[in-house]
Amino acid sequence: MAAYHHVRKPYNTPGFVLIQHGSYQWISSADQPLIEVGEVVLYRGIGQARIFRQLRFRPDELSSANREVWVKYLALQTNMMSDSTLSFNTIHDRIRRCETGGLRDGTWLADELAEAAGLDIDAPGFAKELWQSAQQSYSLDPNMGERKFGPHYVAVRTALSNIRIITFFAGESEVKIVDPSRIQSVVPFGCDVH
């Protein structure tokens, strides 16, 4: 992940350009003041829903079987991010928008790689919960949670190194969390967290 100071024209808005394996985003400094110290606040709107579900766990409290799943999952994430082309294709593999038609979207490549790595992402259990958690999109822009996908939403804090950015097509500043155990806090707005 690279983060560069960038003043956006025509309004001279200070911010950052984030670049990761061909994906890029610009976000205002006012919306992400923690980037300077290597952290981000992410937002996820849940509409009228009353409960936000996000897998959170402490690795040292996992059973041996779940710890093995977690280690396989992290190895898979490392593998997917080790090559810029593979990283770009796996982060965009399930995006379906008119703007993304040329990106080999809808391939579900990451799911194929997860299964090949020995993760059973279809059967009930920790592997499926972990995988589904990793597929949730968040936004770096608080307006996406508060207004576009709200009114109920959450804000989560995590390290800048713990996100994968999705190309800035629709202006929603989307990211995904790599390791849910590295979420530092979840603050609910109008909902409960489970």
Nearest to 177 by CA among 42, 45, 36: 42
- At residue 8, the pLDDT reads 86
- At residue 106, the pLDDT reads 74
| Domain residue extents for the chain | 2-193
Question: Could you read off the pLDDT of 44-99 as tens digits, one per residue?
Answer: 999 999 999 989 899 999 999 999 999 999 999 999 999 988 988 898 887 766 55
> What pTM does this model have?
0.89
Per the prediction, the chain carries an average pLDDT of 91
- At residue 72, the pLDDT reads 98
What separation, in Å, do the N-terminal and C-terminal C-alpha atoms of the chain show? 30
CA distance 194 to 190: 13
- At residue 100, the pLDDT reads 54
